[in-house]
Structure 1
Amino acid sequence: MDTNKKPILALTMGDPAGIGPEIIIKSLAFKETYNKCNPVVIGDASIMEYAVKQCNISLSINAIDDIKDAIFTYGTIDVYDLKCINMDTFKQGKVDAQCGNAAFLAVKKAIELAMANIVDGTVTAPLNKESLNMAGHHFDGHTEIYAHFTNTKKYAMLLADEFMRVIHVSTHVPLRKACDLVKKQRIIDVTELIYNACQQFGISHPQIGIAGLNPHASDNGLFGDEERNEIIPAIEELRLKGYDVEGPIPPDTLFAKAKCGKYDGCVAMYHDQGHIPFKVVGFNWNKETGQMESAKGVNITLGLPIIRVSVDHGTAFDVVGKNIASPDAMMLSIDYASRMARERINNQK
């Protein structure tokens, strides 16, 4: 691959019945996007044509079936056309097996292209888990699809937005099970992942804050023993390895400090412990319009052999087709993926 060129990013269209196509169109309507990377959409050309018309943006679609045919020119959107949607039966804002299958095929193709070093990174628009499973693809979401098709065993979800960077010990499991997954080795693994990721973002000596599981980080065992038995031993071992870590910190203190820049990264013990503070910081609801005004923040899957960055919001079936979806998170995702791809390319020189 020619390392003198801008990184090629594969952007999957997500569930076509959701806002994925719209936020991609809006992101590619900015010339600055093409200054960062060479984007190509993986999905269905007819869907992207449909989205262009709904957005009322003057852009053209270049349907291709080989990345070599992409022109990477502002004003024209290259679409790797999988021809996976029947427009006669397509409906926006609906759970549909056809759309779940289309989203899956786009992700699978993007992974194949990245694994073959044909593209330098991937960015995913949101898919609908119900539609995905209705189509017979029984995955919890993007992360599990990527892990499966890259044969990755150790991986984790990283949420990132300005000062807030959060990784999770567990994600899509019942809360009762999440407590059982708080184990020393898993804490060590995800801390090392976020530490290395921060270095990729240009932070030479990251400081990582590690949350407790129980209220007040158990108050020395008054409210649980996970801190004493699993979290503290993990922190001690990480320090012996040379990592700058602090904890266990009560979550209500950890994230309040992190949003102001105290920590370069945070380790959350379970899904909602990390997602709630992250979205409180990055999501803004407009009471007057009754709409989400902006939804910033990205989701990066760490531990993969390829780059995968995603928006950290859903398909938003309730607003699709109204031309009001914010592209903020998609543009931030493209920015993160571009930086990570450039770092990887530079390391290969």
Structure 2
Amino acid sequence: MTETSERPIIAIPMGDPAGIGPEITVKALSKGEIYEVCRPIMIGNKEVMNQAIGFAGLDLYLNTVANPSEGKYQHGTIDIIHSDNVDIQKLQVGEVQAMCGQAAFDYIKTSIEFANAGIVDAIATTPINKESLKAANVPYIGHTEMLAGLTGVDDPLTMFEVHSLRIFFLTRHLSLKDAIGQITAKRVYDYLHRCTAALNLLGIDNPKIAVAGLNPHSGEHGLFGREEVDEIEPGVKNACKDGIHAFGPVPADSVFHQALHGKYDAVLSLYHDQGHIAAKMTDFERTISITNGLPFLRTSVDHGTAFDIAGTGIAASVSMEEAIKLAAKYAKQFRAAQKA
């Protein structure tokens, strides 16, 4: 095992107490390999975590600490910074509750404060629920918006990593019609620069980035669709003039396969489902989200609170394990690159 001081400290906010976040976290932290690569610190509620340990049928000890520096970081023990913000008697597992939305926000806020102060090296987040956040009048709809608002970052950059495939997104939560309207030469150019900078922070020098095509066969030079000719190609060419190693547009039916097998270091997907489908068909459970452009590294599972199975003990922890491992993988390089 790596020396304790060399293993990065990864903060794990518990997520929505009524969802599967607590369960998948205790299951992930029951695995010895997690402690071989990092020092995980939970930010959450100890009563809810003990309940999750019961759901999962595990034999784990909760060690309550006031600061990450006090953690034992030993397999079999979960170090937790306790927040007394959940009434366990009123908690309804699998249900939308304002109490849970507020609690989930509190855990993330605390994690961000630790990360901003350099007390933890990265954050690996668990699922939260948009309806619960709304019920609590939390002024953010999801993780990305919280991270942006609480760090002052205008437009965080989302990247998926699954096996050797990395995917960035030019647009996210927009209708397909509105997303197409956002595909401009300037936006493609800007994102290629941002994607390159993000990959540099993760230790990837001179990355090769392919831009996915929008239309079938990338429009066949304007035969069916002008977006590639009028917007995407000019954006790619302008980025290349600046020394960015960009390629495309490359037909979307082949570019993700090519990147998975090493032809490109990353793909810039043009809209939400284009990249999501490619990643999740590669390996649904191991598709992990990285939020770039923040003052710290953040990884996350890419699934929801799964209220329908919360409390049953059957939730799989593979995604949570991968999110923690990926945070540990990149944390040291990310910090070093920021200081350089």
**Structure 1-normalised TM-score?**
0.91
Q: State the partner residue of 1:47.
A: 48
Find the aligned partners of 1:25 and 1:107 in 2 and give their Cα distance.
Answer: 18
Find the aligned partners of 1:139 and 1:222 in 2 and give their Cα distance.
Answer: 42
Q: CA deviation at 1:243?
A: 2.0
Find the aligned partners of 1:203 and 1:68 in 2 and give their Cα distance.
Answer: 31
Secondary structure of residue in 1 paired with 2:6: coil
- Please tell me whether the aligned partners of residues 301 and 309 of structure 1 are also in contact (alpha carbons under 8 angstroms): yes
Q: State the partner residue of 1:15.
A: 16
Q: State the partner residue of 2:235.
A: 234
Deviations 1:179-199 (A, max 9, x none): 111122322333233334444
Find the aligned partners of 2:223 and 2:138 in 1 and give their Cα distance.
Answer: 44
Say if 2:295 is the partner of 1:305: yes
Find the aligned partners of 1:42 and 1:186 in 2 and give their Cα distance.
Answer: 37
Find the aligned partners of 1:161 and 1:105 in 2 and give their Cα distance.
Answer: 29
Find the aligned partners of 1:137 and 1:176 in 2 and give their Cα distance.
Answer: 29
Q: State the partner residue of 1:142.
A: 143
Deviations 1:89-122 (A, max 9, x none): 1011112221111111111111111111111111
Secondary structure of residue in 2 paired with 1:221: coil
Q: CA deviation at 1:152?
A: 0.6
Q: CA deviation at 1:22?
A: 1.1
Q: CA deviation at 1:200?
A: 4.5
Secondary structure of residue in 1 paired with 2:59: coil
Deviations 1:322-347 (A, max 9, x none): 22222111111111111221113445
- Please tell me whether the aligned partners of residues 195 and 265 of structure 1 are also in contact (alpha carbons under 8 angstroms): no
Secondary structure of residue in 2 paired with 1:54: helix
Question: Aligned to 2:316, which of 297, 317, 326?
Answer: 326
- What percentage of residue pairs aligned between the two structures are identical? 38
Q: Structure 2: where are the runs of 5+ without partners?
A: none
Find the aligned partners of 1:193 and 1:150 in 2 and give their Cα distance.
Answer: 18
Q: For residues 64-83 of structure 1, what are the structure 2 equivalents within 5 Å?
A: 64-83=65-84
Find the aligned partners of 1:4 and 1:73 in 2 and give their Cα distance.
Answer: 13
Find the aligned partners of 2:84 and 2:130 in 1 and give their Cα distance.
Answer: 21
My pick for the range that moved more, 58-67 or 155-164, is 58-67
The residue identity in structure 1 corresponding to 2:161 is A
Find the aligned partners of 2:192 and 2:300 in 1 and give their Cα distance.
Answer: 20
Say if 2:331 is the partner of 1:341: yes
Q: State the partner residue of 1:87.
A: 88
- Please tell me whether the aligned partners of residues 200 and 343 of structure 1 are also in contact (alpha carbons under 8 angstroms): yes
Deviations 1:9-66 (A, max 9, x none): 1101111111111111111111221121111111111111111111111111112333
Residue 344 to residue 259, structure 1, CA distance change in 2 (3 Å) = closer
Q: For residues 169-318 of structure 1, what are the structure 2 equivalents within 5 Å?
A: 169-283=170-284, 295-318=285-308
Q: For residues 108-119 of structure 1, what are the structure 2 equivalents within 5 Å?
A: 108-119=109-120
Find the aligned partners of 1:170 and 1:42 in 2 and give their Cα distance.
Answer: 31
My pick for the range that moved more, 314-323 or 108-117, is 314-323
Give the superposed CA RMSD: 1.9
Find the aligned partners of 1:14 and 1:246 in 2 and give their Cα distance.
Answer: 38
Deviations 1:144-181 (A, max 9, x none): 11011110123211010112211101101222221111
The residue identity in structure 2 corresponding to 1:258 is A
Say if 2:37 is the partner of 1:36: yes
The residue identity in structure 1 corresponding to 2:194 is L
The residue identity in structure 2 corresponding to 1:12 is P
Count of residues in correspondence between the two structures:
336
Deviations 1:272-299 (A, max 9, x none): 111011111112xxxxxxxxxxx11100
Q: State the partner residue of 2:166.
A: 165
My pick for the range that moved more, 111-120 or 321-330, is 321-330
Find the aligned partners of 1:49 and 1:101 in 2 and give their Cα distance.
Answer: 20
Q: CA deviation at 1:215?
A: 2.7
Find the aligned partners of 2:146 and 2:28 in 1 and give their Cα distance.
Answer: 25
Deviations 1:183-235 (A, max 9, x none): 22322333233334444444434221101222322222233322222211110
